[in-house]
Amino acid sequence: MNFQVPQFIEIEDKAIGPLTFKQFIYLAGGAGLAFICYAWLGVYIGAVPIVAILSLAAALAFYKVNDRPFINIAEAFIRFHLSNKLFLWKKIPNQANQGKIQTKEPRPTENISTIPKDRLHELTWRLNIKEVIDESNSKKIT
């Protein structure tokens, strides 16, 4: 028994001319709001809100960010700015260390300019030797 499997199910159907139904609603709503601004405010005062409304409607209808519709980005923006941003961290003690308090003393930091040159040279030599030994051991293992 053969069945036909629908193709391109993620692509919306074109409902009104070259526009999908959502695109048509965004553009029609933007044009309606722009006409209301024009009727109430006139051409000169209403020019800025009319341009803002029409650009928002065009962005909602056509603009995509990372292949996601602009409405999803706008929704995430609004939710982020309206949500609670207080993050609290509660430390959960380990079962093995329960009852014991471990304190770490801060390590004294040394400024490189205060280290004597002989000691600094010795430290760099040790680090270089350790790197060479580590590299030679890793080559032998593989």
Closest alpha carbon to 30 in 65, 79, 70:
70
Instruction: Measure Cα distances from 70 to 48, 64, 66 in Å.
Output: 21, 5, 10
Closest alpha carbon to 30 in 14, 49, 12: 49
pLDDT grade for 124, boundaries at 50, 70 and 90: confident
pLDDT tens per residue across span 24-80: 999 999 999 999 999 999 989 999 999 999 999 999 999 999 989 999 999 999 999
pLDDT at residue 70, rounded to an integer = 94
More confidently predicted of 23 and 98 = 23
Its pTM stands at 0.54
Q: Give the pLDDT score at 14.
A: 81
SS3 of 69, please? strand
